[in-house]
Amino acid sequence: MGVDFIKKCAKSFNKSWDRSKTELAAPDLFKRDPALAARTYCASLAPGTEAPAGREFLLRLVGSDLRLYDGPSPVGSIKDSPPSLVAAVQSDGCGVAVAKVVRVHEISGAVDISIA
């Protein structure tokens, strides 16, 4: 009876695991590749500075500190910046980089920035 049933229904018979395999192989399972996620750094801003998400600042290496500039005036800094970030700004950008605001923390006044 089992072999007759399979021969009779062979054209429409699919294992349910095969459908799940097709769903898992779909490219939209993971929306963003974790390896491509940008690293962010926390920066503190001067009082009265507005920084909505997406705004860009100039990041300059001054001595051993990283400071954010809006035009000629300093508007914030990155406290305790990691040595890898300081080395990247110093060697790759000759002491200058573009910092983009990713997220704003309203209560603390700090922002998360990514380096372009």
Q: Is 86 helix (H, G, I), strand (E, B) or coil?
A: helix
Give the Cα separation of 58 and 109 in Å (integer). 18
Ordered alpha helix ranges (H), 9-112? 16-24, 83-92
Task: Provide the strand spans (E) within the chain.
Answer: 40-45, 56-62, 65-70, 73-78, 96-104, 110-115
Q: Give, in order, the Cα–Cα distances in Å from 29 to each of 3, 26, 77.
A: 37, 6, 38
| Domain residue ranges of the chain, discontinuous segments joined by + | 38-115
User: What is the rounded average pLDDT of the residues 3-25?
Assistant: 66
pLDDT over 70 percentage in the chain = 76
User: What is the rounded average pLDDT of the residues 48-64?
Assistant: 90
Position 29 scores a pLDDT of 52
Angle, alpha carbons 99-37-64 (nearest 5°): 35
Q: pLDDT at residue 100 above 80?
A: yes
Give the Cα separation of 53 and 6 in Å (integer). 59
Q: pLDDT at residue 86 above 70?
A: yes
